[in-house]
A and B are shown apart, each in its own frame.
Chain A
Amino acid sequence: MFSLVQRLGSAFLELLQFMGHMFLFLINILWCVVTPRYRPRNLLKQIHFIGVRSLFVIILTATFAGMVLALQGFYILSRFGSEGMVGPMVALAIIQELGPVLTALMVTGRAGSAMAGELGVMRIKEQVDALEVMGINPVNYLISPRLEASIISLPVLTAIFNVVGILGGYLVAVHLLGMSAGTYWGGIESKVGPRDIYISMIKSVSFGVLVAWVCTYMGYYANRGAEGVGRSITQAVVLSSVLVLVLDYFITALML
C-alpha cells in the first residue's frame, strides 16, 4: 500500500515537473518571439512549410467533412421535418468546431510531427549544441519562427477549411439531395453571425500556439538516439491531438 502511494506520488511529481518544464519552455519561446534577432526569412520558410504545404490535405479533409455532414444532417433533420436547416447546421458545425479542430489535427499530423522529428534529429546530431556554441540562441533561431508561423497559418487554414467545408456541404445538399441553393445559402446567411467566425478564429489561434508549443518541445528535448526521436514524434502527435480536443472543450464552454 505504502509503495503504491509512493509510486503515485512520484508519478504526480514527475508530471508536475514535466508540466512546469513545458510551461517554462513556452515562456522562453514567447520571450524570444518579442526580442531580437528577428529572422523574416526563417518565418516565411516555416509559413510555407506549415501553411502552404498543408493546403492540399486541408482542402481534401474539408471537402469530405462538409459532404458527410450535409449527408448525415439531411437524413437526421428530415426525421423532424427540418431539412431546410442543413445549411446552417453544416456551416455552424464547421465554423465553430470541425474547422478549427480538424485543421489543428491535420497540421499536427503533417507539420507537427515533422517539426518534432526535425528538431529531434538536430538535437541528437548536436546541431542544437552547435548553435549554442556559435552564440546563437536555438530557441530564437529554431522555435520562435515555428510558433509564429503556426499562429499565422492556423487561422488562414481554418478559414479555408470553413469555406471549402461549406462548399462540400453545398455539393451534397443541393446537387445530390436536391435541396434548393437558395434554402442552403439563405439559412447560412440568417443563422451564421460574426461571433461564430470570431470563435473559430480564437480557437485556431489557440490551437496554433498549442500545436507548435507541444511539437517543438517534444523534438527539442528528444534524446537517446533514433529511438528517442521516434518516441518524441509519437508523443508530440498524441499529446498535441489530445490537448487540442481538451482545449476545444474549455474554449467552447467559455464562449458559448
Chain B
Amino acid sequence: MKKFLLSFFVFFASAGYVLSLSWGGGASAAPNPLAAETTPTAPTTDTPVPVTTFNPTPVPITPTPTLSHTPAPKPKGQYTDGTYIGSQADAYYGIVQVQAVIHNGAIAAVNVLSYPNDRRTSQYINSQAVPLLQREAIQVQSADVSGVSGASDTSAAFRESLASALAQAK
C-alpha cells in the first residue's frame, strides 16, 4: 500500500512536471525551450577524441528500482538482527528511502525502496526530437584547477535514510 501511494505520488508529480515543461515552466527556463534547441545537428568533427552519436531509446516505465549495496565494513555485532526501513530523505527531485537488513549483527543488505528516477519525464523528453549528442571515453586530465565539481546531493539523502534505518537497529 505504501509503495502504491508512493507510485501514485510519483505519477502525479511527474505528470505535473511534464505539464509544466510543456508550457515552458520549470524554474527559470525560457518559454518553449525544447523547440528552439532540439533541431538535430551533426556532431562536430574538430575534436581529437573518438566521436559517436547518441540517440537514446525510450526506456520502459519501471517500478521503484532496487539497489543493493555492499556496505562498508562495520564491527560485528554492532546492530540487532532484523529489517529496518529508513526515513524518506529528500534528494531534491525525489525521495530516497532505504531498507537495511541486519544479519549476525552486521549489515547484510541495503535495499533502496525509493529512488528519484522519473521515467515518465524521461519518456516525455524522448518523445521530443533528440539531438545527436557527442560522446567520448573519459580521459584523465592533469591540470592545476581552482576547484573540483563533484556530487553530494543524492548520496547525502541515501546516507541520511540509511543512518535512520541503522539508528533503529542499535
Interaction A to B: no
